[in-house]
Protein backbone atom coordinates (compact mmCIF):
# COMPACT_ATOMS: atom_id res chain seq x y z
CA UNK A 1 0.00 0.00 0.00
CA UNK A 2 1.36 3.34 -1.01
CA UNK A 3 0.55 6.66 0.60
CA UNK A 4 -1.14 7.72 -2.64
CA UNK A 5 -3.47 4.73 -2.44
CA UNK A 6 -4.41 5.48 1.17
CA UNK A 7 -5.14 9.13 0.38
CA UNK A 8 -7.21 8.21 -2.68
CA UNK A 9 -9.16 5.59 -0.74
CA UNK A 10 -9.82 8.05 2.11
CA UNK A 11 -10.96 10.71 -0.36
CA UNK A 12 -13.37 8.28 -2.02
CA UNK A 13 -14.76 7.21 1.36
CA UNK A 14 -15.30 10.84 2.36
CA UNK A 15 -16.98 11.60 -0.98
CA UNK A 16 -19.39 8.69 -0.54
CA UNK A 17 -20.12 9.72 3.05
CA UNK A 18 -20.89 13.30 2.05
CA UNK A 19 -22.96 12.20 -0.95
CA UNK A 20 -25.04 9.83 1.16
CA UNK A 21 -25.56 12.29 4.02
CA UNK A 22 -26.24 15.37 1.91
CA UNK A 23 -29.97 14.88 1.18
CA UNK A 24 -30.86 14.52 4.85
CA UNK A 25 -28.55 17.30 6.01
CA UNK A 26 -29.67 19.66 3.24
CA UNK A 27 -33.36 19.17 3.94
CA UNK A 28 -32.77 19.47 7.69
CA UNK A 29 -30.91 22.73 7.10
CA UNK A 30 -33.68 24.09 4.88
CA UNK A 31 -36.40 23.23 7.40
CA UNK A 32 -34.32 24.68 10.23
CA UNK A 33 -33.93 27.92 8.29
CA UNK A 34 -37.68 28.10 7.60
CA UNK A 35 -38.51 27.45 11.25
CA UNK A 36 -35.99 30.10 12.34
CA UNK A 37 -37.55 32.64 10.00
CA UNK A 38 -41.00 31.71 11.33
CA UNK A 39 -39.77 32.12 14.90
CA UNK A 40 -38.19 35.49 14.12
CA UNK A 41 -41.36 36.78 12.47
CA UNK A 42 -43.74 35.56 15.16
CA UNK A 43 -41.29 36.03 18.06
CA UNK A 44 -42.03 32.52 19.32
CA UNK A 45 -38.96 31.12 21.07
CA UNK A 46 -40.02 27.54 21.71
CA UNK A 47 -37.04 25.16 21.61
CA UNK A 48 -39.05 22.10 20.61
CA UNK A 49 -40.41 23.97 17.59
CA UNK A 50 -36.96 23.79 16.00
CA UNK A 51 -36.27 20.12 16.66
CA UNK A 52 -39.52 18.32 15.87
CA UNK A 53 -39.92 19.51 12.24
CA UNK A 54 -36.26 18.84 11.50
CA UNK A 55 -36.44 15.34 12.94
CA UNK A 56 -39.57 14.57 10.93
CA UNK A 57 -38.09 15.91 7.69
CA UNK A 58 -34.83 13.99 8.19
CA UNK A 59 -36.75 10.77 8.84
CA UNK A 60 -38.92 11.31 5.75
CA UNK A 61 -35.81 12.07 3.69
CA UNK A 62 -34.18 8.92 5.03
CA UNK A 63 -37.18 6.86 3.95
CA UNK A 64 -37.36 8.55 0.55
CA UNK A 65 -33.63 8.37 -0.26
CA UNK A 66 -32.92 5.01 1.42
CA UNK A 67 -32.74 3.02 -1.82
CA UNK A 68 -30.47 5.55 -3.49
CA UNK A 69 -28.19 5.79 -0.43
CA UNK A 70 -28.03 2.02 -0.06
CA UNK A 71 -27.15 1.67 -3.74
CA UNK A 72 -24.18 4.03 -3.36
CA UNK A 73 -23.00 2.34 -0.17
CA UNK A 74 -23.26 -1.13 -1.71
CA UNK A 75 -21.37 0.01 -4.81
CA UNK A 76 -18.57 1.46 -2.66
CA UNK A 77 -18.41 -1.60 -0.42
CA UNK A 78 -18.44 -4.08 -3.31
CA UNK A 79 -15.73 -2.16 -5.14
CA UNK A 80 -13.63 -2.11 -1.98
CA UNK A 81 -14.14 -5.83 -1.36
CA UNK A 82 -13.38 -6.72 -4.98
CA UNK A 83 -10.13 -4.78 -4.80
CA UNK A 84 -8.83 -6.48 -1.62
CA UNK A 85 -6.39 -8.71 -3.57
CA UNK A 86 -4.92 -5.60 -5.17
CA UNK A 87 -4.63 -3.86 -1.80
CA UNK A 88 -2.59 -6.71 -0.31
CA UNK A 89 0.09 -6.53 -2.98
The full 3-state SS of 5-23, as one line of letters, equals HHHHHHHHHHHHHHHHHHH
Give 47's DSSP letter.
Answer: S
In the predicted structure, residue 87 carries a pLDDT above the cut 80:
no
What is the rounded average pLDDT for all residues in the chain? 91
The pTM of the whole model exceeds 0.85: no
Q: Using CA atoms of 19, 23, 27, 33 in order, give the dihedral in degrees to the nearest 10.
A: 10
Condensed to tens digits (0 to 9), the pLDDT of residues 39-82 reads 899 988 888 888 999 999 999 999 999 999 999 999 999 999 99
Q: Domain locations in the chain?
A: 20-88
Condensed to tens digits (0 to 9), the pLDDT of residues 10-24 reads 999 999 999 999 999
User: Rounded distance, CA 53 to CA 34, Å?
Assistant: 10
Amino acid sequence: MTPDFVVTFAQEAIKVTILVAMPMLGLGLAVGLLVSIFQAVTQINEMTLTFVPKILVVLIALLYFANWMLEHLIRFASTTIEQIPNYIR
